[in-house]
Structure 1
């Protein structure tokens, strides 16, 4: 087993994504392979270190993202047209007008 495979197996174990057979393999490796035990402890240390960095999305964001995904799936031509218009305006508008358009665009798309 390569070192990369050990890291992947250890991470999958810590994230509880393994089948029963794979868990048995992990337990066997813990008992027999010191390198795997080091890899497992390293992955655990990384998970603990980066756990506080995870943030939860604000309440309405998940719903807005799901709604936008549904709109894109139902009407992809509209979304493509919006992207094309955005690029055309960005290339042709003077910089001063772009400074006005961009905040307006953010406000409109954020509160649709």
Structure 2
């Protein structure tokens, strides 16, 4: 306890910085553990395609080349990125189900 009092008296800023850094490390370690446990379940890894997903996320989670997903959705890879499937469907004026219909046969392949 005397060591902590001496540190607080002589190195207050360093001690505060250390405590903040230790809390940040603990936060990210717990976060990593939670995500690891969550995504270890195959049901969470292969969740159904949702409108909030991007084509890149669909390609990565299903282990498909991005070009294959872009071709199935009729996207230009040189265009703007990071659009969600909902945004792409709204731009085209089609329901999400119609947009992702060409992807479904690709997802069923082993």
Range of TM-score over shorter length:
0.3 to 0.5
Q: TM-score, normalised by structure 1?
A: 0.34
Higher percent of residues as helix: 1
Q: TM-score, normalised by structure 2?
A: 0.35
